[in-house]
Structure 1
Amino acid sequence: MNKPESAGHDYDVVISGAGLAGSAAAILLARRGARVALLERRSDPAAYKVVCTHSIHAGAHPVLDELGLVPALEKAGAIRNHSRWYTRWGWIEPRAAPTGPGLPYGYNIRRSVLDPLIRSHAEGTPGVDLLLGHHVTGLVRETGRTVGVRASTPQGEREIRARLVVGADGKDSAVAKLAGLPARSYENDRFAYLAQFRDLPLRGGADHAWFLEPDMAYGFSNDDGVTVIAVVLDKKRLPAFREDLEASFLDFVRALPEAPAIDSAERITKIVGMVNYPLITRKPTAPGVALIGDAALTGDPLWGVGCGWALQTAKWLEEAVASAVTGRGDLDGSLVVYERRQRRRLRPHQHLAIDFAKARPFNRIERLMFSAAARDEAMARHMHRFASRLIGPLRFVNPATLAKAWAVNLKHRGGSRCHPRTSHTRGHSTVIGERG
């Protein structure tokens, strides 16, 4: 049941964007007693994000569980994800320890299923008003802070006041721009194209990633027998790749090591591209404003972290501000808490992604870690924890782990040649043998 309205506020929180981050934040805040207006610029309740990896990493599983979405995801056919990664040293294939627990997992599910599902869940949450066709066009400010939004609606312009305005409106966030929040944009020297295929199984049902240095590809098994295939290549190759987009895409996939049988599968979508997709890092708060999801930090699609970070930032915001937005605490201080946690948890990952987005081969530390993970099961499990964002970069390359990686690789020194890697050039492949 909604609380009585406070003087001067229509709601406790206004959220711009009813996608993954915005809907999750609305549910979590409303459960803590907040009155939430969830604004979505599109009028169709089934609208969804098209360009996406359609994967939620294991680090966000606790948020899905708290939201109560896990049974609905399982019923909708979401795939419990696990991965194998191709490198010049062979495949990294994480497996659970014989006497240990199973590997943590997240879910792969198409946004055409996921977005309407979580939006409907938000709409059914007491305390949430889902307002479709509401596009934020301005912010309402008083005494140096934001106290609401102006929105274009099917009925005309509308002003909605709230203690907190949340921007969950993606990498081109209107809320961030209107609030004047500082941003840094980093060039992504790779471009990506992806498409969805039906009846394209991946070995062992696992997600695949091919690290071809500097080029990449990945395949994610999704609901309803659909597989997402993406190629992520050095921008130097873009003009030639675009000359015949379909042939270039298919030729590249065919040449992958243990390539999926793409010619026998049914392509069910267009080949869609992300040609210029910079990595954007914004200050996530201002007086009366907070950013979550891609609005706060837009990562490299190569790593498939966007969905998970959308859910996690929504949870961190709720934990920090829920009391304050309902009038039981210091909102400005709570926003500081949120900003510090968001920066501490995500900026180190973003720093590594920014460096790797230069379309470079592996550096010395990456060669050490990936080669060891291809040769040792414990190192492969460690790689899985990092790829799942269950641990951060400092734990990933802590001194003990680096020493373990050195020991693993020393044991292989002077042995036989490692697995060859495939180097793609204009749709053709050549084999390059390398020692570990």
Structure 2
Amino acid sequence: MTRPESAVYDYDVVISGASLAGCAAAILLARRGVRVALLERRSDPEAYKQLCTHSVTANAYPVLDELGLVPALEKAGAVRNEARWYTRWGWIEPRAAPAGPELPYAYNIRRSVLDPLIRSHAAGTPGVELLLGRRVTGLVRDGGRTVGVRASTAQGEREIRARLVVGADGKDSAVAKCAEVPARVYENTRFGYLAHFRGLPLHGGIGQTWFLEPDMAYAFPNDDGVTVLAVLPDKKKLPAFREDLEGSFFAFVRALPEAPPIDSAERITKIIGTVNYPLHSRKPTAPGLALIGDAALTGDPLWGVGCGWALQSARWLAEAVAPAATGRGDLDRSLATYERRHQRRLRGHQYLGADFAKGRPFNPLERLMFSAAARDESVARHMHLFASRLIGPARFLNPAALAKAAAVNIRHRRAVADNP
């Protein structure tokens, strides 16, 4: 049962992690009358995540809009994330229908700009207290439920009590570990390295992704004329790749179809990356506790969905628990509502992502859809909706979509046969 209201709390909600998920949740909860303590282990308000695709998928645009960040992002030079994808059948290039609306979008923007922006926005929201330099070292428990956190500070450890504790502290979440929330781990058979370049023109001025089966690569234009370029080869290539990291990185990019002119560009950051990035899935709730962002679910970075899912999960949590977090409802029921929505919206995406992270070639359904999308604009638009996480796997692979793709490929084969 939810803890009785005779209890004394320092805040309604304490959130560990003041990055995208944590800041978004803090803002949206506070606007609904919730008193929020927003803890961040780093002391620098300008701190940011470096290992990221630096892209927010279109599914999160409504959250950015609700947060009031869209004008600030546009002013900061964020780039609307149009994209094209290379496959063995050619390029998939989604375009708006001639008489239809523009394609949904969000933004490519470096985390060095985005993180301080949203953190400042959270700190300026009435009802949010941003506490920098606070590392969660443990949880306060009472009768099997979480009722607060213990946090280290420069002055020593402090106990902070709240009706709800939220872990927004990433894939290695200290909150989840302290609560002993088990993680389901999926192996990722790719490794990845990225760097930022200036003066790197891209075809059409838009993002590029290469599906090389099993290797991957992407190049995303960002704010201030910077392009984020990443390579994600199969782990079998790792020993040779690491012998000469810079040489291997440049050689991989040069070999890409329609490769961006990397040799004439200026690299403005180090080449950074990870050789082991498994996918994690955790139950997003426990009594008195919720997980959002990467703490709940860590997707494969090649899809660039992490930022979008962080913002979405923050919104789902705020919508579900805000009244109960202030003592005006049953918190356990509200958390159950959040958990159902989180799993319904993301479980299918994560299942497909974990399967593709095995480094396998496209399966038959993927071959059908990707080949048709390279040959037909309407199928390409349908794929864009899925890549933007605006539709789920069931709708992406619904019978009508599969029939359409099959018809496109049949017409293509007939055209090739008629014109040998």
1:91-106 correspondence to structure 2 within 5 Å:
91-106=91-106
**Aligned equivalent of 1:264:** 264
**Aligned equivalent of 2:243:** 243
**Aligned equivalent of 2:303:** 303
User: Does residue 377 of structure 2 align to residue 372 of structure 1?
Assistant: no
Alignment partners' CA distance in 2, 1:154 and 1:37: 17
**Aligned equivalent of 1:155:** 155
1:29-428 correspondence to structure 2 within 5 Å:
29-416=29-416
Alignment partners' CA distance in 1, 2:26 and 2:201: 36
Give the TM-score of the pair, scaled to structure 1. Answer: 0.94
**Aligned equivalent of 1:423:** none
**Stretch deviating more after TM superposition (406-415 or 239-248):** 406-415
Alignment partners' CA distance in 2, 1:62 and 1:402: 29
Q: CA offsets, 1:104-146, max 9 Å, x none?
A: 0010000000000000000000000000000000000111111
Say which SS state the counterpart of residue 210 (structure 2) adopts: strand
For 2:147, the aligned partner's letter is V
Alignment partners' CA distance in 2, 1:236 and 1:8: 55
Say which SS state the counterpart of residue 233 (structure 2) adopts: strand
For 2:133, the aligned partner's letter is G
Alignment RMSD, CA only?
1.2
Alignment partners' CA distance in 2, 1:237 and 1:7: 57
For 1:150, the aligned partner's letter is R
Alignment partners' CA distance in 1, 2:361 and 2:269: 31
Alignment partners' CA distance in 2, 1:215 and 1:257: 13
For 2:56, the aligned partner's letter is I
| Aligned residue pairs, count | 414
Identity over the aligned pairs, expressed in percent? 80
For 1:356, the aligned partner's letter is F
Alignment partners' CA distance in 1, 2:56 and 2:347: 19
Alignment partners' CA distance in 2, 1:253 and 1:202: 13
Say which SS state the counterpart of residue 159 (structure 1) adopts: strand
Say which SS state the counterpart of residue 193 (structure 1) adopts: strand
Alignment partners' CA distance in 1, 2:266 and 2:388: 30
Alignment partners' CA distance in 2, 1:240 and 1:225: 32
**Aligned equivalent of 1:430:** none
Alignment partners' CA distance in 1, 2:212 and 2:131: 45
For 2:375, the aligned partner's letter is R
Give the TM-score of the pair, scaled to structure 2. Answer: 0.97
For 1:320, the aligned partner's letter is A
Task: Report deviation, 1:199.
Answer: 1.1
Say which SS state the counterpart of residue 65 (structure 2) adopts: helix
Q: CA offsets, 1:291-332, max 9 Å, x none?
A: 000000000000000000000000000010000001110000
Which runs of 5 or more structure 2 residues have no equivalent in the other structure? none
Task: Report deviation, 1:412.
Answer: 1.1
Task: Report deviation, 1:7.
Answer: 5.1
Alignment partners' CA distance in 2, 1:283 and 1:97: 40
Which runs of 5 or more structure 1 residues have no equivalent in the other structure? 418-434
Alignment partners' CA distance in 2, 1:226 and 1:154: 37
Alignment partners' CA distance in 2, 1:196 and 1:359: 25
Task: Report deviation, 1:10.
Answer: 0.2
Q: CA offsets, 1:341-375, max 9 Å, x none?
A: 00000010000000000001111000000000000
Q: CA offsets, 1:79-124, max 9 Å, x none?
A: 0111100001100000000000000001000000000000000000
For 2:242, the aligned partner's letter is R
For 1:38, the aligned partner's letter is L
Task: Report deviation, 1:204.
Answer: 1.1
